[in-house]
Copies of this chain bind each other. A is one copy, B any other.
Amino acid sequence: MIQCVACSLKGIMWREILVTALFCLRYGEGGFPYIVPSVGQIWPQPQHITTEQTYMVVRPNSFSFTLNGYDCVTLQDALKRYTDIMFNSSNEYQIKKVDPWTKTQYFSGYLDTVHVNLLKPCEHMPYLGMDEQYSLKIDTPDDPGKGTLISESIWGMLRGLESFSQLLIPDGSAYTINSTQITDYPRFRHRGLLIDSARHYLPKSKLLETVDLLGMNKFNVLHWHIVDDQSFPFVSTQFPNLSGKGAYSQERLYDAQDIADVVEYARNRGVRVVVEFDTPGHTRSWGPGQDGLLTTCYSDGKPDGNYGPIDPTNDDNYDFLTLLFTEITSHFPDHYVHLGGDEVSFDCWESNPTITQYMKDHNITGDYGKLEEVYVSKLLQLISNLPTKNGYIVWQEVFDNGVAIANDTVVHVWKGGWQDEMANVTKAGYETILSSCWYLDHITYGTDWKTYYGCEPFSFNGTQTQNNLLVGGEACIWGEYVDKANLIPRVWPRASAVAEKLWSSMEQTQDVNSAAPRIEEFRCKLLSRGFMVDSLGPSFCPGDNL
């Protein structure tokens, strides 16, 4: 009996079976001791897709997009970029010595153009809740021999171009594409990746590379945890001492131009950049550049040289924060800023006599949660009062500590026991983002992407109204053990598991086994596009340019 694991997978289409069969022949009976990637599948899976056995042939030299609807520079750039991606990759999956494509009964002609029909004018900046829907038709019964990509939004167009590029199967000197009909849109509005440029500095080149990969994974948020205890690489023109004294070095900075470059690169790929300036804790690097900002810690009745969280009793600090966040929000145009608020240690506050006196004066003696509330509510207020009228995201502790927060606060859940937390947060009426099960920095041996894939955001106890408050999720790659040397292979394609979970429907992401050959194919595609992404198990990418 022939046992060929890869051949018995459900739901694979004919070309896949053909290709798989070729490999089966080589190995003969006994099955594969390695993963065989699928062929011509899209990651993350489109919401609705039908595929036929018939196929068209795309020849690089005679293919071009045809613009039918609205136009803009972002779209022009995207068409150029995807032409490069499609035809200049290292021909992953090139199947050599196949019969000429025209000779099979399924050949349906040459596809020399795809009509790109943008139905509404381009929006300039991506935003929470932007329209990302698109439709793609290749050689469909109502339009045989033709290709059409339709969207009401530039953002949907970007998603559609990525899907189209993934449908092409290298085949000798050309590409085949099955007759396909897609209607696609994301399951969640907020689909992000947190990066951390404070524990290790990340050069701009690696940020841009990350944004490229976000776009290819249909993520739409780069959550940039830009500063922390270890370093303050953000250059403030108002307060140059912050990076002058708080950065790792004066070569490891992000100035206005760097940030503008990242924001623009991300905008062109439909990716929002949500910056985080985490306070009042995680601010040790802020101290040297701003006198009086951090709480002086005391031992035995005198300052002991250590510093704690931002001093909430010093009114000057709120003036400082107002000016700083005015500058920050002028660089980061997204409506939302992430204000942090996690892991605030009360020890230093407890040791400080000025703070003790303040709490006595305000009748909150001993209640450091209340003291945190003083800080957070003033911070939220000042953010709301900025000319840019920003919204904000905070880590779950702000909610957990009973701080009275504004109704439009988004609560970012990251700790264990997240199902209970999300039930509570949404019951209280707050929007929420899930990260608890997607901490990519917590590496383990083996196929941990399957664990990420198995985390279902709606598996908490809530009503439909509560579910609606779940705006999405973020994979997190905290930077303690991550820098330019390993950022790309450590994040990808493990984050891709989260990407599909957040884009595709709940029903489509139930079966991790059927996802395995597809994520393997996607991994091979990313490799062929030049990204050094990790392997997911014993395998090889056919046609990979070694």
List, in ascending order, chain B residues with CB within 8 A of A489's CB.
Answer: 485-486, 489-490
Within the assembled complex, what's the spacing in Å between the Cα atoms of A527 and B203? 14
Contact: A284 with B33, CB < 8 Å?
yes
Give chain B residues whose Cβ lies under 8 Å from the Cβ of A28.
Answer: 287-288
- Given A34-B230, A489-B485, A489-B486, are A538 and B199 also a contact pair (CB < 8 Å)? yes
Interface residues of A in 439-458 (CB under 8 A from B): 441-446
B481 touches A245 (CB 8 A): no
B30:A306 contact, CB within 8 angstroms: yes
Contact with B along A199-212 (1 / 0, CB 8 A): 11101000000000
Taken residue by residue from 275 to 306, chain A's Cβ proximity to chain B (1 for < 8 Å, 0 otherwise) reads as 00000000011011000000000000000111
- Which residues of the partner chain B approach A441 to less than 8 Å between Cβ atoms? 445
Instruction: Indicate which residue in B203, B307, B481, B542 contacts A537 across the interface (CB closer than 8 Å).
Output: B481
Report which of B229, B443, B527 forms a contact with A33, defined as CB distance below 8 A.
B229
Chain B residue with minimal CB distance to A203? B546
Q: A370 near B: Cβ within 8 Å?
A: no
A443, B445: Cβ atoms closer than 8 Å:
yes
Cα of A229 to Cα of B33 in the assembled complex, Å: 7
A540 partner residues in chain B, CB cutoff 8 A: 200-201, 231, 248-249, 252
Q: A288-B28, A535-B482, A537-B480 are in contact. Are A542 and B445 (CB under 8 A)?
A: no
Residue of B nearest to A204 (CB): B546
Are A200 and B479 in contact (CB-based, < 8 A)?
no
User: Is the C-beta of A1 less than 8 angstroms from some C-beta in chain B?
Assistant: yes
Q: Which residue of B has the minimal Cβ distance to A542? A: B249
Smallest CB gap from A306: residue in B:
B30
B284-A200 in contact (CB<8A)? no
Q: Do residues A538 and B479 form an inter-chain contact, with CB atoms below 8 A?
A: yes
Within 8 A of B (CB), among A1-29: 1-3, 26-29
Integer count of this chain's copies in the complex: 2
What's the minimum C-beta distance from A267 to chain B, rounded to whole angstroms? 24
Kindly report which residue of chain B lies nearest to residue A480, judged by CB atoms: B538
Contacts known (A485-B533, A537-B481, A546-B201); A288 close to B248, Cβ less than 8 A: no
A483 lies within 8 A of B535 (CB) = yes
Chain B residues within 8 Å of A537, by CB: 480-481
A3 to B229, CA, bound (A): 16
B residues in contact with A527, CB < 8 Å: 485
Flag if A288 contacts B27 (CB, 8 Å): yes
Query: A504–B474 Cα gap in the complex (Å)?
Result: 45
**Does any Cβ of B come within 8 Å of A50's Cβ?**
no
Nearest chain B CB to A155 CB, angstrom units: 30
Q: Does A532 contact B (CB under 8 A)?
A: yes
Q: CA of A539 to CA of B481 in the docked complex: distance in angstroms?
A: 9
Query: Is A534 interfacial (CB 8 A cutoff)?
Result: yes
For A3, A200, A483, A527, which residue has the most chain B Cβ atoms within 10 angstroms? A483
Chain B positions within 8 Å of A1 at CB level: 304-305
Is A539 within 8 A of B304, CB to CB?
Answer: no
Cα–Cα distance between A305 and B31 once the two chains are bound (Å): 9
Q: Across the two chains, which residue of chain B brings its CB closest to A198?
A: B538
Seed contacts A3-B306, A481-B536, A485-B534; 4 additional CB < 8 Å A-B pairs: A1-B304, A29-B305, A33-B229, A444-B445
User: 10 tightest A-B contacts by CB?
Assistant: A29-B305, A248-B540, A199-B538, A486-B489, A485-B532, A33-B229, A203-B546, A483-B535, A230-B538, A34-B230
